[in-house]
């Protein structure tokens, strides 16, 4: 991954999406209002570290006939971009468009009348993600979430997602509500719906690469384990053979056992299957394994007798 995070790439793609229908532009503006920093009878405020998100909010609100203001705050090293609608006449216009009664704004709830069609759903969710969403690097894990301090809003969002067969999970994290997904397939579909189809395709490609890499690692680990096992077995056989030689028991061994010992000493790097092919006359892998184990057992028994003397 580059220095541009995957989450930022998703947001950039969403902001570059052109919403052709007026109802979808209204749904996007409504999503910004619901999931921004503030939304009440005084207006709305959105804080973001991404300038393109703030510019998108300004553009969408102009398209629905509401003028807001965009300012930069924070420091040069850590800028914060604020989009706000505070001017009373603009706030009144905005609330009328959203069908929002100023006297009934004690808690923010999603008014489904502002989400008219399937395209509106994507526009609304895309705007919600711009304000309150994040997605992790898919090379590390699959996790997309929306975070809001409004519990009823989180429940409404969960309901909208469930209506479109996404079925997210919801939890509380340090007092704030989190609606999230961990299924790569659901995340891919949601990205497409929100207008980030390019990132959805990238996630699919990364998933294929990640799965291939994991499979390759499993194969490598398995091969390494087999090599370690072979090396361990070879060393054990060599130690047994050497002990039989050093203790003067070599000449007492049956010819088949001596042949197996000579093969093991001559080709210490070969596997049992490869070693069996070197035998004259030929012998099976299991037959050679049995003879080597017999050598080890003979050496162990002789060692125990010598220790008892």
Distance of alpha carbon 150 from alpha carbon 173, whole angstroms? 12
Burial of 248 from C-beta contacts in 10 A (0-12 / 13-18 / 19+): exposed
Neighbours of 97 (CB within 10 A): 17
Neighbours of 287 (CB within 10 A): 15
pLDDT value of position 1: 40
pLDDT tens column, 225-251: 767 777 777 788 888 888 888 888 878
Of residues 164, 125, 121, 119, the one with CA closest to residue 34: 125
Distance of alpha carbon 180 from alpha carbon 182, whole angstroms? 7
pLDDT tens column, 103-135: 776 678 899 999 998 899 999 999 999 999 999
pLDDT tens column, 16-54: 999 999 999 999 999 999 999 989 999 999 999 999 999
Beta carbons of 237 and 292 less than 8 angstroms apart: yes
* pLDDT band at residue 259 using 50, 70 and 90 as cut-offs: confident
Distance of alpha carbon 53 from alpha carbon 133, whole angstroms? 12
Distance of alpha carbon 283 from alpha carbon 279, whole angstroms? 6
Classify domain 6-195 at the CATH class level. alpha beta
Of residues 202, 57, 64, 195, the one with CA closest to residue 126: 195
pLDDT value of position 180: 96
pLDDT value of position 273: 84
**Domain limits, the chain:** 6-195, 228-302
pLDDT tens column, 166-195: 989 999 999 999 999 999 999 999 999 999
Tell me what the mean pLDDT of segment 203-223 comes to.
Answer: 78
β-sheet with 43-48: strand ranges across: 38-40, 43-48, 79-85, 69-74
Two tokens at 281? 């006359």
pLDDT tens column, 60-111: 999 999 999 999 998 888 899 999 999 999 999 999 999 988 777 667 889 9
Length of the chain, please? 309
pLDDT tens column, 1-15: 445 799 999 999 999
Distance of alpha carbon 278 from alpha carbon 197, whole angstroms? 59
Alpha-helical runs (H) found in the chain: 6-15, 22-35, 51-63, 88-98, 118-132, 151-163, 184-194, 197-246, 255-266, 272-278, 285-308
Q: Which residue has the higher pLDDT, 223 or 60?
A: 60
Beta carbons of 14 and 195 less than 8 angstroms apart: yes
Distance of alpha carbon 111 from alpha carbon 47, whole angstroms? 23
Distance of alpha carbon 270 from alpha carbon 234, whole angstroms? 9
Beta carbons of 57 and 71 less than 8 angstroms apart: no
Beta carbons of 299 and 250 less than 8 angstroms apart: no
Of residues 230, 244, 222, 224, the one with CA closest to residue 285: 230
Q: What is the pTM of this model?
A: 0.70
- State which of 152-161, 222-231, 299-308 shows the largest mean pLDDT: 152-161
């Amino acid at each position: 991954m580059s220095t541009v995070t995957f989450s930022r790439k998703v947001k950039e793609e969403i902001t570059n999406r052109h919403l052709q229908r007026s109802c979808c532009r209204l749904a996007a503006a409504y999503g910004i209002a619901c999931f921004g920093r503030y939304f009440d009878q005084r207006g709305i405020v959105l804080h973001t570290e991404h300038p393109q998100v703030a510019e998108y909010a300004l553009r969408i609100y102009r398209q629905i006939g509401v003028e807001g203001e965009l300012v930069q705050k924070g420091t040069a090293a850590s800028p914060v971009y604020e989009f706000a609608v505070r001017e009373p006449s603009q706030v009144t216009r905005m609330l009328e468009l959203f069908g929002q009664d100023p006297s009934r704004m004690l808690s923010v709830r999603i008014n489904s009348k502002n989400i008219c069609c399937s395209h509106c759903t994507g526009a609304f969710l895309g705007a919600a993600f711009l304000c309150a969403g994040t997605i992790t690097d898919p090379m590390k894990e699959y996790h997309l979430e929306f975070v809001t301090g409004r519990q009823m809003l989180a429940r409404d969002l969960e309901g909208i997602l469930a209506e479109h067969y996404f079925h997210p999970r919801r939890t509380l994290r340090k007092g704030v509500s989190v609606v999230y997904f961990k299924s790569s397939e659901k995340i891919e579909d949601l990205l497409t719906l929100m207008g980030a189809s390019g990132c959805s395709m990238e996630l699919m490609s990364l998933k294929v690469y990640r799965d291939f890499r994991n499979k390759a690692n499993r194969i490598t680990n398995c091969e390494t384990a087999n090599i370690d096992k072979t090396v361990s077995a070879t060393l054990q056989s060599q130690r047994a053979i050497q002990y039989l030689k050093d203790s003067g028991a070599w000449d007492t061994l049956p010819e088949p056992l001596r042949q197996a010992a000579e093969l093991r000493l001559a080709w210490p790097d070969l596997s049992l299957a490869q070693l069996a092919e070197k035998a004259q006359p030929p012998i099976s892998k299991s037959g050679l394994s049995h003879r080597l184990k017999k050598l080890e057992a003979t050496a162990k028994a002789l060692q125990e007798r010598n220790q008892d003397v």
